[in-house]
Amino acid sequence: MVEKTTQRLRTLLGHIMPTLDPICYKGQNGRIVIIGGSEQYHGAPYFAGMAALRSGADLVSIYTCEKAL
């Protein structure tokens, strides 16, 4: 059941997401800017950035409050 669902999801996303070219250089496959978080809640922007990198973005910038660092 899980394998069928995973296969269907890959087929669906294959039509939406472009294929990545291995000879591209930094920034050609997408840039993402994430604005969010606070002093207490800084995890969500981090995880959003990691998800963007894993999905194929080349550059991810995260802007949050200074105390969250």
The DSSP secondary structure of 1-63, one letter per residue, reads -HHHHHHHHHHHHHHHSPPPPTT--TTTT-EEEEE---SS--HHHHHHHHHHHHTT-SEEEEE
Q: Does pTM surpass 0.75?
A: no
pLDDT interval class at 41 (50, 70, 90): confident
CB distance 57 to 24 below 8 Å: no
Q: Quick: pLDDT tens for 1-29.
A: 778 888 888 888 777 776 777 787 777 77
Going by DSSP bridges, is the β-strand pair 31-35/59-63 parallel, antiparallel, or unpaired? parallel
Residue 44 lies in a domain: yes
Q: Domain of 46?
A: 21-68
Structural domain count, the chain:
1
Q: Which of 10, 24, 6, 25 is nearest to 55 (CA)?
A: 10
Residue 51 lies in a domain: yes
